[in-house]
Amino acid sequence: MPRKPDRLKYGADDVPAKRDLLVLGVQHFCLALVFAIYPAAIAQQAGMSTREKAGLLTATIIATAITTFLHHFKPPLGNGNLTIQTPTPIAVPAMMQAMGLGGLSLLSGMTFVFGATELAVSRIIKYLRAYFPPEVSGVVVMMLGVSLAESAVRNFTGATMASGVVTGVNLDYIIVASLTLITIIACAVFGRGFIKLFSLGFGLAVGLIASKLVGAFATADIQNMNASPWLGVPSLNLGLPTFNLALIPLVMIMAVIQCVDTLGSFISIQRINDDDWKKLDTAQASSGIQVNGIGNMISGLLGGIPGGISSAHIGLVMASGAAARRVGAVTGILLIFSIFTPKLVAGLSSIPQPVIGALLAYTAAFMMVAGMELILSRLLSERRIFTIGLSILIGLSTVILPGVYSRLPVLLANICESTLAITAVSAIVLNMIFRIGISQRATLQASPSGHHYETIAPFMESLGKTWGMRRDIAERASTACAELFEALVSHGVPEDSLALTVEFDEVDLVMSVVYPGKPISLPTSRPTLHELLSGPDAQVQLGAYVVRKYVDKLSQVSTGDTNRLTLRLEH
Amino acid sequence: MAAQMSELRVYAPVGRLDSQTAAGHEEAILALINPSSKGLVLDMAGVSHLSTAGIRVLLMVSRACQDAGIGLMLHSLTPATLEVIRITGLDEHLNIRLDAS
């Protein structure tokens, strides 16, 4: 049972007052609209007509609205938390590529593939994590930022190109884009509370005003916005989706990266909801990823782009102190209503080029740093350093020497010529290669001096570096094992007969201790204060109880005079 | 490791507080408990590792302070030290002050 933190006014299952529900729903709705920037950027890059742009936005909003609404139900229908679905930047480069290769029908098909991949891996994502450890995901996320850079700079400067060479830039665009970016940065760096949270929204507002002043709005978009009614039936770009074999691997990899990212979002939201949070509730996460997959398949069928759980909204949950899942239902309903306001959709699809440039520049910078953070979240060994360095180098080779892979067979060349695809494939393959030959099993003899923590902690840290363990898992393992050794010694087990065996497979860290004599009891409840003060036996019980609290699974098998204790930590 | 500040007695354990060191610390702290003093403060900033054996010492000291009619306060606990106490659920029985002031 989660322990609701004091800072939360409304926990996940609380029912807020009607007024609060509406106000919170409107806040999440407004923040969600800002993310229309991603479909708008894809539309801008592809040079879509105003009608096509509106169709793309409408489809994406419908899908995110349905998904957001579904998320508020408890598993298996939803995930039972306040999580808001928004268009995901992770899919933007692949979707831009899809638009370039096959237009709207291919974009629809690739969004469908993205969703289908999420649905397929939703139940096995835990096991796929071995192939997508943080350094692999981090490299891909960093290169996502690099992939967005070209589009960001081109829109930011309004650069015109001829034969791959810049022939001119638009000074008005640079001024508008700079004002937009400065506003976002100022709000994000110097702002507090809602100003910080809505930094993208404030930047967007300043960018729109500046665009109006310098005339950066496209005339056709203005005419479309003026002609659009306040209320009306939404239009969609319905058509049969098409598929491109060369693009499918990239889209599938991005979908898995999105799933891994979603696991991170669930860790954040579950931590917000539970002061006693210890490990990821995989039922919630799997169900959430499943709903995301279904939502993105719907988005594909309607002609939209993929979405994902928004970390900005998780920030809003934290700042507002309201994590009630019913707020998600209200947000979903508001998003659905919004598509019946063609003027709003036309307004969102008319975001001018320099404003898109500034928002993409912000996103690109943010993703590059987020990728670096992910890379550094694990203890690094030489093998992992090479995995990271070489895959970035291989990815950058397409930027440094465009066309370097053009002589490969067509299907392979298409993958290799994409900075993102070749980086992702290189990181995955190098990770698998560098795992070869690493012993995933190690043993430590107990210290005869009795200084168990001082022996076990450096041993675990060293293994953590070699195996790429999460820092917090290595620390929890050290504390649990030291506590177990103390409890066993107090139980009467000779120190020289104690040895710890550790095994790691990216999914689980398994520690086992074999010891002779009478088996130690493993209580599920803590000894009382009175028992603890009465005698040393209760301290052994307390030690075993703490070990149980530190690990995800604790079991003991006794055969004759020998006992085997197994401690399992999910990674 | 021990100091007297006006009527408050302060004890600052350093290093590990586990089964190897528990008995020594327990003896030293119990010797400081005096019904005529205002109270006892344990400055935990220097504790690098706290095991359940150490927690039991804290409980024994807390009981002894109660018996002597004086207050006990633990302060400057590191996040790791605080976590292990919270995991046992025994933080309710110990007067823990989170800031160092």
Q: In chain B, what are the domain boundaries?
A: 8-97
A61-90: average pLDDT: 95
Q: How far is B101 from chain A (nearest CA, A)?
A: 23
* Structure tokens belonging to residue A495: 């120190």
- Beta-carbon separation of B51 and A453 below 8 A: yes
pLDDT over 50 at A162, yes or no: yes
* Residues of chain A contacting B59 with CB distance shorter than 8 Å: 529, 532-533
Name the interface residues of A facing B (CB cutoff 8 Å).
Answer: 449-454, 475, 479, 482-483, 486-487, 489-490, 526, 529, 532-533, 539, 542-543, 545-546, 549-550
* Fold entry, domain B8-97: Transcription Regulator spoIIAA (3.30.750)
- Beta-carbon separation of A546 and B87 below 8 A: yes
pLDDT over 50 at B100, yes or no: no
Instruction: Output DSSP code: residue A561.
Output: T
Closest CA to A250 of A429, A415, A89, A432: A415
Q: How far is B6 from chain A (nearest CA, A)?
A: 30
Distance CA A211, CA A225 (A): 15
Please give the residue that has the higher pLDDT: either A393 or A316.
Answer: A393
Of the partner residues B51, B56, B89, the one whose CB lies closest to the CB of residue A482: B51
Distance CA A63, CA A300 (A): 9
Looking at A158-307, list the stretches that DSSP marks H as alpha helix, in order from N- to C-terminal side. Answer: 171-190, 193-197, 199-214, 219-227, 248-273, 282-302
B83-96: average pLDDT: 90
Least confident of A301-305, A532-536, B48-52: A532-536
The 3-state DSSP class for residue B9 equals: strand
Residue in chain A closest to B54 (alpha carbons) equals A539
pLDDT category at A435 given cuts 50, 70, 90 is confident
* Structure tokens belonging to residue A307: 């979405």
Q: What are phi and psi of A527, to 5 degrees?
A: -60, 150
Please give the residue that has the higher pLDDT: either B97 or A544.
Answer: A544
Please give the residue that has the higher pLDDT: either A195 or A558.
Answer: A558
ipTM of the complex: 0.87
pLDDT over 70 at B6, yes or no: no
A187-192: average pLDDT: 86
User: A223 CB contacts (<8 Å, ≥6 apart)?
Assistant: none
pLDDT category at A278 given cuts 50, 70, 90 is low
**What per-residue confidence (pLDDT) applies to B101?**
42
Number of H helices and E strands in chain A, helices first, is 23, 9
Least confident of A358-372, A374-388, A450-464: A374-388
Of the partner residues A475, A489, A545, the one whose CB lies closest to the CB of residue B19: A489
Distance CA A87, CA A57 (A): 10
* Residues of chain B contacting A483 with CB distance shorter than 8 Å: 51-52
* Residues of chain A contacting B90 with CB distance shorter than 8 Å: 526, 529, 532
- Beta-carbon separation of B89 and A487 below 8 A: no
Instruction: Output DSSP code: residue A526.
Output: P
* Residues of chain A contacting B87 with CB distance shorter than 8 Å: 546, 549-550
Closest CA to A180 of A363, A357, A37: A357
Closest CA to A58 of A233, A224, A217: A233
**What per-residue confidence (pLDDT) applies to B1?**
52
- Beta-carbon separation of A550 and B19 below 8 A: no
**What per-residue confidence (pLDDT) applies to A555?**
95
* Structure tokens belonging to residue A36: 């229309």
Distance CA A54, CA A33 (A): 14
Residue in chain A closest to B85 (alpha carbons) equals A546
pLDDT over 80 at A506, yes or no: no
Instruction: Output DSSP code: residue A417.
Output: T
